[in-house]
């Protein structure tokens, strides 16, 4: 029985996924697809996964910061900086005190989707040529 076909494959959205990365579940696949669109619409003018643009490269972000930091940061980074958070203050200073815009319209789920997309992109570049077999 073919495993690569059928309704579970999210026809239409799957083109957004890097070839080498295989999401562990349909939920993850749809989160990544949603995150891809959200990233392009909200973040891509200043961020890339592997290169610094205006803001830092986002590769490895979940290794640097827990999601409990990322959610309030994306919603309102200046509030996190103003709270005296050491990492945030340093990051702000290291980036020429450039203010990242606030995204109060993004839900926790939206932000987690963006993070899932970032992680999927990293995965694909870190293991170039790898065939994900599970």
Q: Would you call 47 helix, strand, or coil by DSSP?
A: strand
Interacting residue with ligand HEC among 29, 92, 120, 121 (CB under 6 A): 92
Helical segments of 15-107, H only: 26-42, 61-64, 67-75, 77-82, 86-94
The only residue of 91, 116, 119, 124 in contact with ligand HEC, by rule CB under 6 A: 91
Residue 9: CB minimum distance to ligand HEC, A: 27
Nearest approach in angstroms of CB 102 to ligand HEC is 10
With contact defined as beta carbons under 8 Å apart, do 112 and 119 qualify? Answer: no
Residue 68: half-sphere exposure toward Cβ, Cα within 13 Å: 1
For residue 103, state whether it binds ligand HEC (rule: CB under 6 A). Answer: yes
**Interaction of residue 75 with ligand HEC, rule CB under 6 A:** no
8 A C-beta contact, residue 132 and residue 22: yes
Residue 125 tokens, joined: 């570049």
77 binds ligand HEC (CB under 6 A): yes
Residues at the contact surface with ligand HEC, assessed by CB under 6 A: 42-43, 45-47, 54-56, 58, 61, 64-65, 70, 73-74, 77, 91-92, 95, 98-101, 103, 114
């Amino acid at each position: 029985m073919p495993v690569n076909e059928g309704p579970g494959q999210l026809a239409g959205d799957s083109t957004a996924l890097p070839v080498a990365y295989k999401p562990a579940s349909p939920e993850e696949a749809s989160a990544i697809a949603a995150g891809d669109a959200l990233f392009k619409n909200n973040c891509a003018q200043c961020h890339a996964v592997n290169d610094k643009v205006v803001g830092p490269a986002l590769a490895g972000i979940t290794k640097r910061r827990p999601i409990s930091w990322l959610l309030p940061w994306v919603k309102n980074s200046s509030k996190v900086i103003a709270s005296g958070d050491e990492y945030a203050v340093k990051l702000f200073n290291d980036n020429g005190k450039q203010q990242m815009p606030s995204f109060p319209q993004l839900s926790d789920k939206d932000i987690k989707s963006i993070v899932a997309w970032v992680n999927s992109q990293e995965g694909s570049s870190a293991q170039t040529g790898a065939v994900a077999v599970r």
